[in-house]
């Protein structure tokens, strides 16, 4: 397995599209996982950024294709849900880092977990509901109020 950290960002730094439409993002993510399997080691979704650490199969380590499809699926679903077209939804490209060793892996797991803390969204990463960190740590953060869209996607 090839471990890779990446970060995606929305073009508009004030957008809350990723968390406001978390159900759409989860659906796009699940389709990508079915189409080209990978293992999610850690993920944190902020209102305008997604931080993730994936384990990609040695036989199919293609990160840009997977991420491109995720961005495309979410963008199309967002247009269908809101009726608003935004040709510049995502920042161009992705920030990517291939994990070198166990120390690097631990550093990036922590980096993903602490993303909402660095963004000033919570005082404790365990309190952020859109992160795998609380689940890995065995904590149960309070779920956010769900919109009708989110309830249907759950």
CATH assignment at residue 119: 3.30.70.1290
Inside any domain, residue 68 = yes
Say if pTM beats, i.e. exceeds, 0.75: yes
Residues noted as catalytic: 130
The reply to whether 147 falls in a domain is no
In a domain, 41, yes or no: yes
Asked if 37 and 57 count as a contact pair (C-beta separation under 8 A), the reply is: yes
Number of domains in the chain: 1
Q: Tell me whether residue 149 is in a domain.
A: no
| CA contacts within 13 A on the Cβ side of 75 | 17
Supply the range of the domain harboring residue 69: 2-142
User: What would the pLDDT profile of 36-91 be if each residue is shown by its tens digit?
Assistant: 999 999 999 999 999 999 999 998 888 999 999 999 999 999 999 988 777 789 99
Assess if residue 37 is contained within a domain. Answer: yes
């Amino acid at each position: 397995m090839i471990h890779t950290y990446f970060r995606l960002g929305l073009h508009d730094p004030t957008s809350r599209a990723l968390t406001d439409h978390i159900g759409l993002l989860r659906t796009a993510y699940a389709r990508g996982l079915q189409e080209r399997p990978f293992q999610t080691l850690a993920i944190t979704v902020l209102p305008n950024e997604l931080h993730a650490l994936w384990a990609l199969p040695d036989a199919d380590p293609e990160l840009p294709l997977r991420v491109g499809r995720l961005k495309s699926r979410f963008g199309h679903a967002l247009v269908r849900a809101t009726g608003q077209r935004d040709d510049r939804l995502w920042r161009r490209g992705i920030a990517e880092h291939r994990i070198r060793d166990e120390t690097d892996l631990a550093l990036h797991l922590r980096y993903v977990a602490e993303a909402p803390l660095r963004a000033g969204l919570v005082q404790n990463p365990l309190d952020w509901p859109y992160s795998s960190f609380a689940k890995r740590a065995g904590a149960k953060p309070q779920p956010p109020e769900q919109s009708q869209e989110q309830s249907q996607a759950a």
